[in-house]
């Protein structure tokens, strides 16, 4: 879809700053806590890598599983505003629970955050997409702005909560995450009144009786909706392979940074958790460039469609893990590897993410039928849940496959194989897919 020649922030719908800041503070709390999670389990509680990976996998997958339930309940029973408030309060209580010593409070905190995310995440993304009903040509650019908010929070969280937790006190780090969540809810409470009334309305306008569709027209609409759902399902499925590899950042790559990376910086040791800020920092640097690239290509009608962007994403992801294979080979000689290896890995992973995650959010928001909007956004996050679960389980085997080279080489093979398979499906059904995309 072509973008206007110049994208000005004031040309976007009123209210995006409220949702930008709300999501920024919520993600600060989430990524600050995530940067500590595996390190806390291994270093403070004495869990093995395998057991820590299992807990990480269960938790992160549950975080992205609950949006299916939260989206369904909101579509059926709750208002968008109530669901976002409910989710935010539950997540705040969860972060506060993590700040209390004791394994029972730790598990309770993870549970509350996951449940709260189920109500918060799909609905704030849906509301953001609904701001662009009157300005569909700005939707992709708008979601890039929204994604920048996510990554400002992702940058600050490990710096603040990660550093406090790893260097001062684990529970102080978790408490810092709760402060971020509290600020986010205050921002949403004060700013949500400025959002247009139309974003909160679930029902579409009734069709006048004289324009009721014929049976043939209804069948065509049903077929069109089903085709859209299949396409959403296809991209959701392939996103599993992305998240399975990408989420090694919070688990196996985090432990690799701790154990095998030279983190000395002029006599000061950089906390391993702080490296989790590299990805969001690169998102903030390269995000506008990628967005500008799509806009430039759109002017000449050469902007790749979402399927091709997913193929590019999976290919770039494989390059990142190929770099990791080289790093692992050196680490197995007993030599600490340069931090530049992880910088390079996160660079390729970031480019990969920019071709998939914001593209997927925009695509689902645009293609999903209105009455199933939150549910389908939840299904998009469900695929993320499967990917996170697989990532967590696999991360525990980093040192159990005989060689870390084999471990990271596995992700190279999976990413490139998935890219080839998706591209093959696209070539097979190219005409049908193009017609569906151009008709929306």
Query: What per-residue confidence (pLDDT) applies to 216?
Result: 58
Query: What per-residue confidence (pLDDT) applies to 205?
Result: 44
Query: What per-residue confidence (pLDDT) applies to 208?
Result: 46
pLDDT at position 428 over 70: yes
Q: Are 170 and 35 in contact (CB under 8 A)?
A: no
Lowest-confidence region among 145-154, 184-193, 420-429: 145-154
Q: Are 159 and 277 in contact (CB under 8 A)?
A: yes
With cut-offs at 50, 70 and 90, classify the pLDDT of residue 211. Answer: very low
Q: Kindly report the average pLDDT of the chain as a whole number.
A: 85
Task: Compute the distance between CA of residue 260 and CA of residue 331 in angstroms, rounded to an integer.
Answer: 6
pLDDT per residue as tens digits for the range 292-349: 888 788 888 888 988 999 999 999 999 999 999 999 999 998 889 999 999 999 999 9
Q: What is the DSSP letter of 205?
A: P
Percentage of residues in the chain having pLDDT higher than 90: 36
Q: Are 250 and 34 in contact (CB under 8 A)?
A: yes
Q: How far apart are the first and last CA of the chain?
A: 10
pLDDT per residue as tens digits for the range 107-116: 999 999 999 9
Task: Compute the distance between CA of residue 46 and CA of residue 67 in angstroms, rounded to an integer.
Answer: 31
pLDDT at position 271 over 70: yes
Q: Is the dihedral of CA 372, 148, 314, 399 positive or negative?
A: negative
Query: What per-residue confidence (pLDDT) applies to 3?
Result: 39
Q: Are 283 and 147 in contact (CB under 8 A)?
A: yes
Q: In terms of residues, how long is the chain?
A: 440
| Cβ neighbours around 102 below 10 Å, total | 10
pLDDT at position 280 over 70: yes
As a whole number, mean pLDDT of residues 56-81 equals 86
Query: What per-residue confidence (pLDDT) applies to 176?
Result: 93
Who wins on pLDDT, 218 or 12?
Answer: 12
pLDDT at position 278 over 70: yes
Domains with residue ranges and CATH for the chain: 15-196+217-439 (1.20.1250.20)
pLDDT per residue as tens digits for the range 3-61: 333 444 457 787 888 888 999 999 889 888 888 888 899 888 889 888 988 898 889 88
pLDDT per residue as tens digits for the range 365-419: 777 776 677 677 777 878 888 998 898 889 888 877 778 999 999 999 999 999 9
Lowest-confidence region among 138-142, 364-368, 426-430: 138-142
Q: Are 391 and 60 in contact (CB under 8 A)?
A: yes
């Amino acid at each position: 879809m072509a973008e206007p020649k110049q994208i000005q922030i004031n040309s976007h719908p009123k209210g995006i700053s409220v949702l930008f800041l709300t999501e920024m503070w919520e993600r600060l709390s989430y990524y600050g806590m995530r940067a500590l999670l595996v390190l806390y389990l291994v270093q403070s509680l004495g869990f093995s890598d395998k057991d820590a990976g299992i807990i990480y996998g269960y938790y992160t997958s549950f975080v992205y599983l609950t949006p299916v339930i939260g989206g369904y309940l909101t579509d059926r029973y709750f208002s968008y505003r109530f669901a976002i408030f409910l989710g935010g309060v539950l997540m705040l209580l969860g972060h506060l629970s993590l700040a209390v010593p004791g394994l029972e409070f730790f598990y309770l905190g993870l549970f509350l955050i996951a449940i709260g995310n189920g109500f918060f995440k799909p609905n704030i993304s849906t509301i953001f997409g609904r701001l662009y009903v009157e300005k569909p040509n700005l939707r992709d650019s708008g979601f890039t702005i929204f994604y920048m908010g996510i990554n400002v929070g992702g940058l600050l969280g490990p710096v603040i909560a990660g550093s406090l937790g790893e260097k001062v006190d684990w529970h102080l780090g978790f408490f810092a995450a709760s402060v971020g969540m509290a600020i986010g809810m205050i921002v949403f409470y004060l700013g949500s009144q400025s959002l247009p009334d139309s974003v909160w309305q679930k029902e579409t306008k009734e069709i006048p009786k004289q324009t009721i569709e014929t049976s043939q027209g209804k069948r065509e609409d049903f077929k069109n909706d089903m085709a859209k759902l299949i396409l959403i399902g296809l991209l959701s499925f392939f996103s599993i392979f992305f998240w399975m590899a990408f989420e090694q950042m919070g688990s196996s790559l985090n432990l690799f940074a701790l154990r095998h990376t030279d983190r000395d910086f002029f006599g000061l040791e950089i906390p391993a958790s702080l490296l989790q800020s590299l990805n969001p920092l690169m998102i903030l640097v390269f995000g506008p460039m990628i967005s500008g690239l799509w806009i430039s290509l759109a002017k000449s009608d050469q902007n790749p469609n979402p399927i091709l962007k997913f193929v590019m994403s999976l290919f770039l992801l494989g390059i990142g893990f190929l770099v990791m294979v080289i790093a692992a080979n050196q680490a197995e000689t007993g030599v600490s590897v340069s931090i530049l290896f992880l910088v390079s890995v996160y660079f390729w992973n970031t480019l990969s993410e920019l071709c998939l995650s914001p593209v997927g959010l925009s695509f689902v928001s645009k293609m999903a039928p209105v009455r199933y909007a939150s549910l389908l956004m939840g299904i998009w996050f469900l695929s993320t849940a499967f990917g996170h679960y697989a990532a967590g389980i696999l991360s525990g085997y980093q040192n159990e496959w005989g060689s870390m080279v084999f471990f990271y080489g596995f992700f190279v093979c999976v990413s490139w194989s998935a890219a080839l398979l998706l591209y093959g499906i696209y070539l097979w059904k190219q005409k049908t897919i193009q017609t569906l995309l151009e008709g929306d």
